[in-house]
Amino acid sequence: MRNPTTELPDSTRAQALLARVFGARAAGAWIDAPIDGAINRTFPVRLDDTRYALRLRVNEAGFRYEKGIAKSALVGAIHAAKRDGASDRAAAAAKPNGKAPPHAPQLHHWSDGDDLWPLPWEIAAWCPGDAIGAANAKPSADALIRAAHAIADIHAVAFDGGKADLLNLAGPDQDFASWVGGAIERELARGPVPGAIDGYARAVSRKAKPAARWTLVHNDLHGLHLIDDTAAKRLWIIDWDNALVAPPELDFVKLKHWTRINAATGHLSADAPMYGAMLQAYETKTGRKLDADVFAACEALWLLRVWRFESERREQGRPTPILFAGPEIYRAALDRLAEAA
C-alpha cells in the first residue's frame, strides 16, 4: 500500500480517481493545482463545464477524530436521520447514502479507502462563491445572516448526551461536566503544561455544570469554511472531518478566534464585529442565547487543544501552515484566561 503522506498524488493519479467516478468522460477533465489543508489535499476539477472538488485525506497521523471514514457521507446520513426524528441509537445505524451534511455541496462519490487511494476520499460539487473570512472579503450583512442561519441548521438536531464520536452514537451518554472534564484531562495528559494553565484548566473542569444542549457540531467552523454565493443568496459549509456531537457553543469558540484572515499576518484571527453580527443573527434565528458557562468551558478546552496541537507540530519539525498562528498565540490566550479567573 502506498503511503499518501509521502507519495502525494499528481494529476495522473487524480485522473485515475476521476475515471472511477465519471468513466471515460474523465479524460476531458481539467485538474487545477491542489489546495493543501492540515489533513486533506483538494484538487479543483472542471469536467464538461461543471466544477468539482476531488478531496483526499493525505495524513491521519495527528488526526484526532474517526480515522478511515469518509466523514461527509457519515455526517450527511446521521443528520438526515435525526432530522427525520430518529433516536440516537437509530441514527447510529444510518448508512451513508449520498446525502451531504447540511449546507454542504452535493456528494458524487465517497470511499473510506480503496485500491486507488488507501485513505478516505470524495468527489463533491464545487462551491461557487467566496469565503466570508478571506483576507480581502467584505461580506454583506445578508451574507453574515446566511452564515448564522446555516449554522443554526447544523445545530437543529438534538442528541441525548455527549458521545465519544460519531461511530458511537448508540453508546453511553455523557453529561457536560464529564465530557468536558474528560477531554481537558486527556489534553493535560499529553505532556507538560505550564502551572498556571494546568491550574486554570483543572478549575474549569471542576466547575463545569452537568447540563448542556447536545447537537451536531461542525467543530472546524471558521471564516474560510463558510462560502457565500451572493448571486444565489446561498451559504455553503465545507470540510466536515471534525464533526461530532457536542454543545453548539463549541462551534462559536472557533468562530470567535478564527473569524477571518488577518491581512497583516496571514493568520486566521478574531474579528469581533463580524463574529458579533453572526452570533446575534444566530441567537435571533434559534431564539436561544449561548450558555456563557458552557462557552467558557468549551473555550478553555479548544485553546488547550489547539495550543497542544501546534506545539506538537513544531516539536516534530512539521511546518505550521501559513493560515495558522504558532502555539505562542494560544498560550498567550490561555494565560490571559488564567489571569482573569
Write the CATH number for 141: 3.90.1200.10
> 110 lies in a domain?
yes
Residues 157 and 235 reside in one and the same domain: yes
Q: Please, what is the average pLDDT of the chain?
A: 94
C-alpha cell recorded at residue 66: 474517526
Tally of structural domains, the chain: 2
**pTM more than 0.75:** yes
**Is 60 exceeded by the pLDDT of residue 336?**
yes
> 6 lies in a domain?
no
Residues 120 and 134 reside in one and the same domain: no
Of the candidates 99, 125, 151, which is a domain's last residue?
125
Of the candidates 65, 92, 125, which is a domain's last residue?
125
> 200 lies in a domain?
yes
Mean pLDDT of all residues in 218-231: 97
Residues 97 and 214 reside in one and the same domain: no
Residues 237 and 296 reside in one and the same domain: yes
Residues 234 and 200 reside in one and the same domain: yes
Contact of 291 with 281, CB cutoff 8 Å: no
> 3 lies in a domain?
no
> 293 lies in a domain?
yes
Residues 87 and 169 reside in one and the same domain: no
C-alpha cell recorded at residue 304: 488547550
Position 60 confidence tier, pLDDT thresholds 50, 70, 90: confident
Residues 135 and 222 reside in one and the same domain: yes
Residues 186 and 76 reside in one and the same domain: no
> 177 lies in a domain?
yes
C-alpha cell recorded at residue 247: 454543545
Position 37 confidence tier, pLDDT thresholds 50, 70, 90: confident
> 2 lies in a domain?
no
Could you tell me the residue range of the domain that residue 259 belongs to?
A: 130-340
The full DSSP string for 274-337 is HHHHHHHHHHHHHS-PPPHHHHHHHHHHHHHHHHHHHHHHHHTTPPPPTTS--HHHHHHHHHHH
Rounded Cα gap, residues 153 and 23, in angstroms: 35
**Is 70 exceeded by the pLDDT of residue 3?**
no
Residues 103 and 136 reside in one and the same domain: no
Question: So what's the pLDDT on residue 203?
Answer: 95
Residue 307's nearest CA partner among 332, 336, 337 is 332
> 271 lies in a domain?
yes
Could you read off the pLDDT of 262-277 as tens digits, one per residue? 999 999 999 999 999 9
The amino acid that residue 322 corresponds to is I
